[in-house]
Structures are given as C-alpha cells and as structure tokens.
Chain A
C-alpha cells in the first residue's frame, strides 16, 4: 500500500473514532464523563453488583458489604464506587449506570437523565451537616464563622455543598475565603490537615475523624435524607442487597456511625 493510502486510511480511522464517541449518548456527554474516583465500570458483569455510594459513605460502604456477605452468606462480589453524589449521577448519565445507588440528598437523583431506569427511591437514612473545626481551634460556635480565615465547603452541586450554602443563606453569612472541594471527604481532609479554619461536613464524617476535629452543631438546618435507588434491570443479587440495606442489621450499622434511620 502506498504511503498516501495509509495516511488517508489513518485520517479516516481518526475521524470515525471521533464521530462514534461523540454520538454515543443523546446529548453527547458520552465522551464528557469524568473518570470515577472508584471502579466505575459499566454494569452487566455477571454476578458483580455495581454499588455507587456518596462520598460520606466511604467508611460505611465496605462495612455494609462485609456485613451483608457475613450475614447472608451471599458471595456475590459487590464493587463499590465512591464519589460526590453529583459525580455518581454524572457517571450514570454517561452510561456507567450502577445497580444500587445511594446519594447524599434527594435533590441529586433529580439530575438523572433516565430516572425511569431506576425503581422508586426509598429513604434509607439521614445525616446532619455540622461545622467541623480542628481540635485546637478557637472557634466554638457557628456565630464565629465570619471571623474564620479560610472555610471549606463542597462544590455547590454536591449535596453537602447545597446544604452548606443553604445554611449560609439562611443565616445571611458571607465568607471571605471559601474553597469549594469536590466531595465531603476532601473538605474533611482540609480540616484535619489544618489547612482551613472550618469546614462543612456531615456529622458522620466528623465522627469518623475522631479527636482531630470538633463538630459544632448548626441550628435550624434540615438533615439530608439519603435515598436508595435500584436499577430496574439490576441482577437479582443487587435487589437482594438493596433489600438487606433496608433491614434491621444495616439499620444498626447506620445508627452506630451516626446516621439517623427512619
């Protein structure tokens, strides 16, 4: 084959691959999906359940899957994908739909492009937003926020960011230096590392950080309700896992971590 033919074929291959990727999903977000923070592979692997959980469930998710395997003896592999709820919804929209999805508020699933692919959501647990400060901080109440040097929140579209902004609007507080992180655990890290003077995290995250942070309660704030969504075409093992998550054993684990269960 002549050099020109090969070059032409190469150019054609490039164009075709570009067009194929661009037309993957209706609104062209197929190629815009951000890489997941965990193993966000497309569902469909036989016997593997894709479990997507909000970042605030970082510690809870492996505990839940381990407890499920222990108590039911079900050996199905459950692959956990953790990330900000908005990112998980984004991945679901881009085609990496999980079998079981838990988001950190009921607002996040509204961004799903195909909500009919999931069964009706069930309220699983709720979590309250608190103000976390380093253990040696001089801040003792939420009123001192305006004097804080740097404050960390989640990005506005992430559930904890939404709640934090709702609190700030409610109290009419404007902050000087605000850093908007990708998810609640990044906020927690900035607080524990002493990079910021205060951060808005969930009560469970503050508890998970132990003695390194102090949690200050925020008055008059509605807690975030965590909905559980199961994909309509999820395998039997996924539905069994989802049912177990609503049971008493799972409820006890949630309570121990600091969540409130309905």
Chain B
C-alpha cells in the first residue's frame, strides 16, 4: 500500500543521511574498551560529574517547565506582530552557538555586571556554582521546551475550549482540564528535550560557569578534561555513559507518549 505513494529512489539519500548520523555513533561503541568501562564509570570524578549533571539538568528542567508552560500558553493566545516578535526572540537562543550563549550570560549575570554584581553583594553570588550551571541550562533549554509545548497547545481545537467556557468553566479550569491534557504529549516531549539538551550543554557552561570539580564540571566538561589529559578511553567511557542517559530519556519518552495516546 505504501509503495504506491513512496518513490523507491528516496532510499538513497535517506540511507546516506542515516549512515552519516549513525556511523560516528557506531564508531564510538566500537572504539570503546568494554571491559574497562565498569571500572571507569565507578571512578570518583565520573560519578561526581554524573551526579552533578543529573541534578542540574533535573533542576533546570523543572525551571523550564514552570517558566515555559505559562509562556507557551500565552504565546498560543497572541496574534499578529507581537507574536512574530516574541517567537523570533524565542528561536534565537535555539539556534545561537553555545559559546555566544555563554558570552551573553556573562554580560548579564557575570560578576562585573549590574545583575551579577548585585547578587554577589547580597551574598547570592552564582559564579562557579551549580546555580550558574542551572542558569546556563535554562537559557539553552527553555526555547526547546516552549517551542514543543507551543506547537502542541496550538493544535488543541479551540472549539473544545469554547465548549468548556460555555459550560461555565473558568479559564484556569479550561486550561487544567481541556487544553493541557490534550497538549500533554507535546509538553512531555518538550520536557524530555529540555532535559536532554541540558545534559549535553558544554560551550556555554565552560564559558560562563567554568570547570570546577564537583560544582560545575558536568559530564561534557569531564569528557573534555579527559581528552585534554591524554585519556581518550576515559573520554569515550563517559561519552557512552551520556549516550546511555539519552537512550533512557528516549525510551521513557516513547513509553510515556505511547501510554498517553492509548487513553
């Protein structure tokens, strides 16, 4: 049945694309020394980096959710130029090179700035602390979450929302019982995307939060340190650990979205 609508030659560019993506990943798996991996993963610095990565990514995902969901809901209600402008603003961090993101954060939250300097003076200095890492991760992941949540909120049939309003529901009730449950798959995917993006963030983290063992040295920074220390096997091992985390996120996403659709 599908053959009627799918030209056969599509396979050629598709396979080339797939090979370009999967080839390097497969190479990583092949190059690793699988026997040494458990010992490597048990190393103090790897475990500290893992704990820090998971904790900060979790914290920043929660912040993304709390800030991003209202933003996505509001954006879905806007029309016209206001919407285009705000959407443009949203997409910029999405495509911005992480190094530029780090630089931008430095000029806003850094010690020499108004905001950063003030925070420092009241004792809430964020320099070289896990808080700085969370800040970076929120900056880079929030757009992912909002874009994903927004597209699924917009897909909700407004007739259903009006029906709820007609029946006497308040705006909060409509949101909680009609809009958000229907938009749940997109919101969930957005949450998981934000989490995965936060886990992988490197450039902005090292520019803004530095590489302090136990405080800002997340898994990607630990990988770079291992590479710089002529320890490519350690770098490989930790990379595989990170890929493992991504796979868990993907499987969870698939399972959760599947469960929601079955309802």
Contacts and interface: CB of A to CB of B under 8 A. Distances in A.
Interface of A: 3, 6, 9-10, 13-15, 17-19, 21-22, 28-34, 84, 86-87, 89-90, 111, 149-150, 152, 155-158, 177-182, 186, 190, 193-196
Given A32-B235, A32-B236, A181 B27 contact: no
A109 to B, nearest CB: 11
B18 A10 contact: yes
Given A21-B30, A182-B224, A193 B230 contact: no
The 3 closest A-B pairs by CB, nearest first: A18-B26, A179-B210, A22-B30
Interface in B15-43: 15, 18-19, 22-24, 26-33
A101 to B, nearest CB: 15
B23 A21 contact: yes
A251 to B, nearest CB: 30
A14 B232 CA distance: 23
Contacts of A150: 127-128, 210
Nearest to A30: B31
SS class, residues of chain B in contact with chain A: helix
B227 interface: yes
27 contacts: A6-B11, A6-B15, A14-B23, A14-B26, A15-B26, A17-B23, A18-B26, A21-B27, A21-B31, A29-B232, A30-B31, A31-B24, A31-B30, A31-B31, A32-B232, A32-B233, A32-B236, A86-B229, A90-B228, A155-B225, A155-B228, A158-B228, A182-B228, A193-B106, A194-B110, A194-B112, A196-B210
B48 to A, nearest CB: 13
Interface residues of B, number: 40
A90 B235 CA distance: 12
B191 interface: no
Contacts of B23: 14, 17-18, 21
